Amino acid sequence: MKASPRRHLVTENRDLLEVEHPAEGEFRALEGKLDATGRRFAIVVARFNAFITERLLQSACDGLLRSGAQRNDIEIVRVPGAFEIPSAARTLALTGKYDAIICIGCLLRGDTAHYDVIVNEVTRGIGQSAQETGVPHAFGVLTCETLEQAIDRAGLKMGNKGFEAALAAVEMASLKQAISSQPSAVSEKAGVGRRTVDLGKKQIPRFARNDKQKSRNDKRKSRIDKLNSGNDKLESRNDKPKKKASKTSRRK
């Protein structure tokens, strides 16, 4: 069997194609490390659908311990359902005691629109809490169509989303520390501006500064003298009618 001309052309084109990889040394990238040593984490877990959320919780704790976290540095907070997760996560983040918050829950679609409303509010609340508090939040809330999908994502075919959320929290906590340790570009520009201003002041000779100050003082003195002369003229005008009155009284 002879190969078709189309296949022959495809193989030739594939040989001509070259994949260009970016040079690693040209760009500098900040990345978080999967190292949880010395960091504190809070896990907010919903009791609703506990047969799923408990599996997610166990895997999240396992992920933190494997990353180097201590058991005393892991705080578990239980809430009634997924809707209450953002409020609890925000309260924990505002305390400033935790490097990252892990949110765990499970939502299954039902016959009504209740599922869509809760999913939107939970997602929005967790994201808003992370943005406003500055504390990383890991999203470990399952939003599944069926129970089978939730089971698959709690330790079966699709892995365990609790474990993945824990690793994401560890990496984001490390990344936040790496970013905060970098010097600010605004401060660098301000420092350069101050240096240029200082250099400009040093270049001006002292006698020139003294001359400017003397000229300013002379201007102020001239203004004060003008004001005093104006006051003297007003006083002299006020004294003239008094003299006239005294003359008329003498004539009488």
Please identify every residue annotated as catalytic: 114
DSSP class of residue 135? -
Q: Output b/e per residue, 35-55; b: 16+ Cβ within 10 A.
A: ebeebbbbbbbbebbeebbbb
Residue with tokens 């400017």: 212
Q: How many Å apart are CA 105 and CA 113, to the nearest integer?
A: 18
What is the chain's Cα-based Rg? 39
- How far apart are the C-alpha atoms of 94 and 129, rounded to whole Å? 9
Distance linking the first and last C-alpha atoms of the chain:
151
Written as six digits, the tokens of 147 are: 């129970």
How far, in Å, are 156, 170, 177, 191 from residue 95 at the CA level? 36, 19, 18, 34
Q: How far apart are CA 40 and CA 69, in angstroms?
A: 8
Q: Which two tokens stand for residue 160?
A: 């365990």
Q: How buried is residue 68: exposed, middle or buried, by Cβ count under 10 Å (0-12/13-18/19+)?
A: middle
